[in-house]
Chain A
Amino acid sequence: MSRVVVNVMPKPEILDPQGKAVTGALQRLGFQGLSVRQGKRFEIEVDGEVTEEVLAQIERAADTLLANTVIESFDVVTD
């Protein structure tokens, strides 16, 4: 069994209210100089080898469902 990770992040030009709230909370807790953007991580278990074909399929899955590319970008990483 192999694992592929899809990371989904709000696009830089899109406001990230959750990240902003976390940034504010960190400041209040005394963690200075940290700016947070919040995204999602999907861990995908793959039967067998992670081939180019499998990666292409996961790329399609991310583009179709996991991310909304109007507001989010994603990358696919073999773990």
Chain B
Amino acid sequence: MPRIGVVTFPGSLDDHDALRAVQLSGAEAVPLWHGSDSIDGVDAIILPGGFSYGDYLRCGAIARFSPVMSTVIDAAGKGMPVLGICNGFQLLCEAHLLEGAMIRNAGQQFVCRDERLRVETIDTTWTCAFTKGDEITIVLKNGEGNYQASAETLRKLEDNDQVVFRYLDNPNGSANDIAGITNERGNVVGLMPHPEHNVESLTGPSTDGARFFASVLQFLSVRA
């Protein structure tokens, strides 16, 4: 059975939801700890949402230097699937595993709502079970989700097909309506909306989030 790790940082909020989503997908959920440089031999890693280290300085800026991150950066460089959700996405940008950065929402408001997204590429370890152009509903909740990058970086992301998700109704001023991106290799994906909250019909308007986890399992099974 594939083992998927979820890192808990001080201030993580959605680590348990992510662990539960992993479990529901049929993989073994492995809790990982920010203070240890071990990732316990997992096959994939999720950096969950929340407010790591109180989001002091900048979101994800301090968590990026926690012991576990050196191992995560190393594993990502070797091709391990890594998914950063919300604070995890901010963390991946701070760690330079993904390009660009998040600033405060354009409307200065914390936004919490079900968000419509379009899947722009399925050429990643976390979206291979989607169909390109799929429109999905995933809950969004953040105050600093406004994705920004230099014009040059944006052009590169667009040209290389690294924009993974786009907002249908941009909630926060993100450049090019970007909700999520991937690295050049397609193994590291970050997005602001929370797929781990959309895996059960009881608690969400869709179960579209389950396909993120189905994707990584499909990728791992093909690779194995």
- Chain A, range 57-74, C-beta contacts under 8 Å to B: 65-66, 68, 70-71
Seen from chain A, the residues whose Cβ lies within 8 Å of a Cβ on chain B are 10, 13-18, 20-21, 65-66, 68, 70-71
**Bound complex: CA A13 to CA B149 (Å):** 10
A17 adjacent to B57 (CB under 8 Å): no
Pick the 7 closest A-B CB pairs, nearest first. A70-B101, A17-B104, A71-B101, A21-B108, A17-B108, A68-B101, A14-B148
Q: Which residues of A contact B204 (CB under 8 A)?
A: none
Q: Does B146 contact A (CB under 8 A)?
A: yes
A68 adjacent to B100 (CB under 8 Å): no
Seen from chain B, the residues whose Cβ lies within 8 Å of a Cβ on chain A are 57-58, 61-62, 65, 93-94, 99-101, 103-108, 146, 148-150, 173
Our pick among A17, A20, A21, A65 for the contact of B146 (Cβ within 8 Å) is A17
**Bound complex: CA A66 to CA B64 (Å):** 12
B106 adjacent to A70 (CB under 8 Å): no
Q: Which residues of A contact B104 (CB under 8 A)?
A: 17-18
**22 CB < 8 A contacts A-B:** A14-B103, A14-B148, A15-B103, A15-B106, A15-B148, A16-B103, A17-B103, A17-B106, A17-B107, A17-B173, A18-B108, A20-B108, A65-B57, A66-B57, A68-B61, A68-B101, A70-B93, A70-B100, A70-B101, A70-B148, A71-B101, A71-B148
Q: Which residue of B lies closest to A64 (CB)?
A: B65
Q: Which residue of A lies closest to B62 (CB)?
A: A65
Cross-chain pair count, CB within 8 angstroms: 41
A19 to chain B, nearest CB (A): 10
Q: Which residues of B contact A17 (CB under 8 A)?
A: 103-108, 146, 173
**Bound complex: CA A66 to CA B62 (Å):** 10
Q: Which residue of A lies closest to B59 (CB)?
A: A68
**Bound complex: CA A13 to CA B175 (Å):** 12
B74 to chain A, nearest CB (A): 18
**Bound complex: CA A30 to CA B119 (Å):** 47
**Bound complex: CA A18 to CA B146 (Å):** 13
Our pick among A14, A65, A66, A71 for the contact of B65 (Cβ within 8 Å) is A65
Q: Which residues of A contact B148 (CB under 8 A)?
A: 14-15, 70-71
A10 adjacent to B103 (CB under 8 Å): yes
